[in-house]
Amino acid sequence: MFLYWGESGFFCVIFNLQSFLTKKNGRKDSRGLCHKRQGLPLKDEGKMKADLHCHTMLSDGTLGIEELIQVAKKSGVDTIAITDHDTLAGTVRGAIIGKRFNINVIAGVELSCWDDERNRKVHLLCYMPDHPDRLEGLCMRTSLARKRAGKLMVIKAVAKYPLTSEFIAKCAQGSTNIYKQHIMKALSYIGYADGLFGETYRQLFKEKGEKNIAVPVKYPDVFEVLEEILGAGGIAVLAHPYLYDSIDLLDELVEKGLCGVEAWHPTMSEEQSEAMVKYAKKHKLLAIGGSDFHGCFAAHNSKLGDVTTPEANLNEFLGYKAKVKRQKKKAEKAAQSAE
């Protein structure tokens, strides 16, 4: 067994490194998922491998920034985007550490939103904002709302189980907030949970009833969030469109300036990915993909680099902002000539 003491401590690092060391290598299908074969994952010769959806322990992931980048390096992933929930706190450090390991780390954030019309949660990914400070107020509001919900869930958990709030906080050390996964981690440590996402999780956070301790978080309106992303000079992408049933929202978001869709995600079928790629081409949107990596805090079993963005799509993504600037200059020149 390989023991590593890092930012997130023994338990989670051992868990993820064991998972990583048993990972099989293989070609990717049209979803970006690996067809597995014996051996460690190796980078295809001459091809870039990019995972544009990764979380760290700053939100609800299990790895610290440096650990995440080390796993990317050993997995043959050249480019990652750190997209923690409602915080850009890891972007600067991620870029610095990425250079040390020769990994391109893209600044990002996954912003939590609410679709008032359909009464559903929505996630928008923001990449490479020119003015990240303009998103600080939005992130702070959501963080405060999540803190209030987290405190109430902790109070309920402590009332039901032989836990202390201090112990739950210790399980959330390094995060900007207390998430459901941190409460489940605490319950696992004291033997009251059958895994992080087993029956106990369903009773506490999914099923209705007196055992449920979930507290809803008040999220900002999705169109307000989209406007904030574009105002900050970021690339706005709808995350996992099928996971939160966001398909019927797409046309409205495109009208308001959405830049792309996440066409490859662990929860998507091949048919769903193909549908999103077609939609992206029709509406001239970016199509990207990522593993939505959380380590052992993920409900879906996805390793870093299992789902990636094809190289052609990555190049289009990386050149998107320059392309938009060129188009804007061209339009301004045309307008001046017409006067």
For the chain, domain boundaries: 49-135+235-327
Convert the pLDDT of each residue in 145-188 to its tens digit: 999 999 999 999 999 999 999 999 999 999 999 999 999 999 99
Structure-token pair, residue 257: 């300036």
Q: Order of strands across the sheet with 104-115?
A: 50-54, 79-82, 104-115, 120-127, 235-238, 260-264, 286-289
Closest CA to 232 of 107, 89, 128: 128
- What pLDDT was estimated at residue 207? 87
Categorize the per-residue pLDDT at 46 as very low, low, confident or very high, splitting at 50, 70 and 90: low
Task: Determine whether 59 is exposed, middle or buried from the number of CB atoms within 10 Å of its CB (0-12, 13-18, 19+).
Answer: buried
CATH match for 49-135+235-327 among 3.20.20.140, 3.50.50.60, 3.20.20.70, 3.30.390.30: 3.20.20.140
Structure-token pair, residue 110: 């996954």
Spatial distance between the Cα atoms of 202 and 197, rounded to a whole number of angstroms: 7
| Three-state SS at 137 | helix
Convert the pLDDT of each residue in 227-285 to its tens digit: 999 999 999 999 999 999 999 999 999 999 999 999 999 999 999 999 999 999 999 99
Convert the pLDDT of each residue in 204-217 to its tens digit: 999 888 999 999 99
- pTM of the full structure: 0.85
Structure-token pair, residue 242: 């099928």
Q: Is pLDDT above 90 for 3?
A: no
